[in-house]
């Protein structure tokens, strides 16, 4: 059986990877067999739950996150060999959607052609036989390589110049930025293959809005979008990772691009748990899963407040327990002023 420390390194906003030891200590003391990770993200918490022998269902609104969940959670024994990975790097480069639309925005023209080529080989080249979980693993390795080459590991700004300009910087890792996509994928595949294991349970991955999933789980783990009290811009995961989402819908990508913005994000999609609907959406969610244990990760201070969340959860769950720990968040100028909280609600029955 693997341990949570075997989860691959990731550069994803809000990842709970560094908090897994803390969460592990808490989850071990709760009795449950099946769990729904409703906002799966990197799948770090789902991986922890899998190492604890649980039956895990991972949901995420972003297909790119579902790729990670299939590769690391649903997949119990399939690996992508280094030989199979190397086949992706051979042959003539070809241009496509990325080369045609994203010149000078996130990657160099040479890199754009390389990404176009890799997507073609992973998704469409039948001669390579990269199918099912192997395809998910290959895509995951590509996603991680691209995140490593991005300033701040995000795609919310057209800022290739931050990486390519010859200036003194106080952020980022230029050494990693200048490594090739090939080299970074080779590094990631070793971590992924090492992380794959079978805990004896069948796991599921779904790509739905959080409020559309029916009840039937012993525990629901929630790590919803975080909103500040202030009115300035909040986290928008579709905006942050739209480029990875585009790779998932490569054939239809161009038709879904918002060309009115410099960083060419995907057109907005309706989803629950926006700031203005958060409390009402949480009430609906709790009504759906009122017979399940609720475990909700939440950073404070934020909106809504912990007090408001506790009051809302008490509508459907009789006993509330809150665990808190100080935690440093990357790329955050207010480090030291935040706490990570895990709010546990136990059902009335």
Q: Examine residue 200 and state whether it is found in any structural domain, yes or no.
A: no
Closest CA to 288 of 36, 32, 41: 36
Number of residues that this document lists for the chain: 349
Q: In terms of residue numbers, what domain contains 19?
A: 1-77+205-225+275-349
Same domain, 6 and 22: yes
Same domain, 160 and 255: yes
Q: What is the pLDDT along the chain (349 residues), one digit of tens a residue?
A: 899 999 999 888 888 999 999 999 999 999 999 999 999 999 999 999 999 999 999 999 999 999 999 999 999 999 999 999 999 999 889 999 999 999 999 999 999 999 999 999 999 998 898 999 999 999 999 999 999 999 999 999 999 998 888 655 555 577 888 899 999 999 999 999 999 999 999 999 999 999 999 999 999 999 999 898 876 556 799 999 999 999 999 999 999 999 999 999 999 999 999 999 999 999 999 999 999 999 999 999 899 999 999 999 999 999 999 999 997 755 554 445 689 999 999 998 7
Structure-token match 């604890």, residue found: 52
CA angle 188, 194, 200 (to 5 degrees): 130
User: How many angstroms separate the CA atoms of 67 and 43, rounded?
Assistant: 10
Strands 339-347 and 317-326, by their bridges, are antiparallel
Same domain, 127 and 15: no
CA angle 127, 131, 134 (to 5 degrees): 115
Q: Cβ(291)–Cβ(262) under 8 Å?
A: no
Provide the domain count of the chain.
2
Q: Which residues contact 129 (CB under 8 A, 6 or more apart)?
A: none
Same domain, 27 and 113: no
Structure-token match 């969610």, residue found: 285
Half-sphere exposure of 302 (CA within 13 A, CB side): 20
pTM: 0.94
Strands 219-222 and 34-37, by their bridges, are parallel
Same domain, 62 and 211: yes
Same domain, 4 and 69: yes
């Amino acid at each position: 059986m693997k341990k949570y420390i075997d989860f691959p390194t990731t550069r994803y906003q809000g990842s709970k990877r560094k908090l897994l030891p803390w969460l592990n200590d808490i989850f071990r003391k709760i009795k449950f067999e099946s769990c729904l990770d409703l906002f799966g993200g990197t799948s770090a918490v789902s991986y922890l739950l899998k190492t604890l022998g649980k039956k895990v269902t991972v949901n995420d609104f972003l297909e790119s996150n579902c790729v990670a969940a299939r590769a690391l959670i649903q997949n119990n024994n399939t690996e992508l060999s280094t030989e199979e990975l190397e086949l992706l790097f051979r042959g003539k480069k070809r241009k496509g959607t990325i080369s045609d639309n994203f010149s000078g925005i996130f990657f160099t023209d040479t890199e754009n052609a390389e990404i176009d080529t890799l997507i073609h080989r992973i998704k469409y080249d039948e001669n390579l036989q990269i199918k099912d979980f192997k395809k998910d693993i290959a895509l995951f390795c590509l996603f991680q390589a691209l995140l490593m080459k991005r300033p701040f590991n995000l795609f919310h700004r057209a800022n290739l110049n931050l990486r390519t300009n010859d200036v003194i910087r106080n952020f980022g890792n230029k050494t990693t930025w200048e490594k090739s996509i090939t080299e970074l994928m080779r590094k990631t595949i070793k971590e992924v293959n090492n992380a794959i294991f079978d805990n004896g349970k069948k796991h599921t991955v779904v790509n739905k809005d959080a409020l559309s999933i029916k009840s039937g789980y012993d525990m629901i783990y929630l790590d919803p979008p975080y909103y500040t009290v202030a009115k300035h811009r909040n986290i928008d995961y579709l905006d942050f990772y739209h480029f990875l989402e585009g790779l998932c819908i490569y054939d239809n990508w161009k038709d879904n691009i918002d060309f009115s913005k410099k960083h060419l994000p995907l057109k907005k999609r309706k989803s629950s748990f926006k700031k203005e609907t958060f409390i009402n959406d949480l009430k609906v969610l709790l009504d759906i899963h009122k017979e399940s244990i609720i475990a909700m990760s939440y950073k404070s201070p934020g909106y809504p407040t912990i007090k408001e969340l506790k009051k809302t959860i008490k509508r459907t769950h009789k006993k509330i327990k809150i665990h808190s720990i100080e935690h440093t968040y990357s790329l955050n100028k207010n480090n030291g002023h935040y706490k990570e909280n895990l709010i546990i609600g136990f059902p009335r029955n």
